[in-house]
Every structure is written in structure tokens, then in C-alpha cells.
Copies of this chain bind each other. A is one copy, B any other.
Amino acid sequence: MRIAINAEEAAKLVPDGASVMVAGFLGVGTPERLVEALVARGARGLTVIGNDTARPGLGIGKLIDAGCVARVVASHIGTNPVTQRKMLAGEIQVDLVPQGTLAERIRAGGAGLGGVLTPTGVGTAAADGKRVIELDGREFLLEPPLRADVALLHAHEADHFFNLAYRLTATNFNPVMALAADCVIAEADEVVPIGVIPPDAVRTSGILVDYLVARGR
């Protein structure tokens, strides 16, 4: 059996200036207690990699509100006017990446691949500065793998070995981010004994999870 840490301790594992993958899609599947602990710690200068920045007061939006973020790598920021405003004010750098390319770049980072060859973005602004590879007469963008110092995950269930299972559309970026960071921290809605999550239902092995955040008391 392994020992969970509390959210405050977890937040100390994310240094200022770190690159942080935060799972979730408009806040669904985002570890809110971890995010709140980062805000409480007063984290600064983070590079946040995630699908979007949710809304003010929700998920990654809380980090944006609190001024924790220097740079965002995301597919969409249209739901968060604070991100947009801070981008225009030059307070946050925003790198926009097509959503499928973002998922695949993170997967490549975790799978030891040299990059992603995608047809998405060819002939658009997403191709700016990208290497184009022609294969059998078709053009593909060579997109680099993405990794981060830390990944923050949200699971439906975790067991005492830190195996994780996700639920419905809260799955999203969690499984790919679990492989793509040097330090993986997860929070779960429920914690269960080993064996309650059967082998075919485990989506992320506990061997990949460095820390589990204890349930709130």
C-alpha cells in the first residue's frame, strides 16, 4: 500500500516556472483540488499545457485568474475572456495547437516518438514555422512531442497502488498526460483497495503515478 499526500504538499512539488500538464476539457476531468492548492501556494510563472483554459473560476481558469500562468499551450481559449485579455495585455503567452495535434504531441512525448506527422494544419496558420514532410504526394506537418515537468490528473477511482480509472468524458487528456511528465500527481473522487479496479478497467497504472492526493477531510 502507498501513502497519499495532501493537496498542499502536492502543490509544493510544482516549482514556480515549471511546465505543467493539466488534464481536463472545459474543467471536466481537471483535478480541482490540486489547482486550488497551486493557487493557494501562490505559484508563479507556470507553463500550462491543457486543452483549454476553461472559464474564470473553473479548472485551469483558476490558475489564470490568480496570475499563476506565464504561458498557455492549448487548443482553445475562447471560453475564458480573462485568458484572452491577459494575452492581449502581454501578461500570458498563448500557443494555439489544433486539438488532435495537441493530444498526439502529448502522446508522442510519452511514447518516445520523435514527433507527429499530421495532415491537420497544412496550408493554415498552424503550419507557420513548422517543417513540412511530403509522403506519397501528401503533405504533413512535423509536430514536435510535448512533455512537461509535472502532470496533474483527475481520476474517478484510484486504488491503493495508485492505479487510476476515469469516467465518461472526464477521461479526455488524462491517460496521455500520465505518460508525458517527469512527475505525475493524481487526485481521485474515490479511493478503493487494490483489486477493486480490475486489470481491464485500469487506464493508468499506479507505477506511472508518483503521488496521489488524499481525499479532503
Contact = CB atoms under 8 A, between A and B. Distances in A.
A140 interface: yes
A135 interface: yes
Given A200-B165, A200-B168, A113 B116 contact: yes
Contacts of A104: 111, 113
Given A135-B144, A144-B135, A200 B167 contact: yes
A166 B114 CA distance: 30
Interface string A144-177: 1000000000000000000001111001000000
How many copies make up the complex?
A: 2
A55 to B, nearest CB: 26
A138 B115 CA distance: 11
A194 interface: no
Interface residues of A, number: 25
A200 B114 contact: no
Contact of A138 (B111, B114, B201): B114
A129 interface: no
A112 interface: yes
Contact of A135 (B114, B135, B165): B114
A166 B135 contact: no
A199 interface: yes
A117 interface: yes
A139 to B, nearest CB: 8
B117 A112 contact: no
A86 to B, nearest CB: 31
Interface of A: 104, 108, 111-119, 133, 135, 138, 140, 142, 144, 165-168, 171, 199-201
Complex A-B, nearest 7 residue pairs according to Cβ-Cβ distance, in ascending order: A114-B117, A114-B140, A115-B117, A114-B135, A113-B117, A115-B135, A113-B118
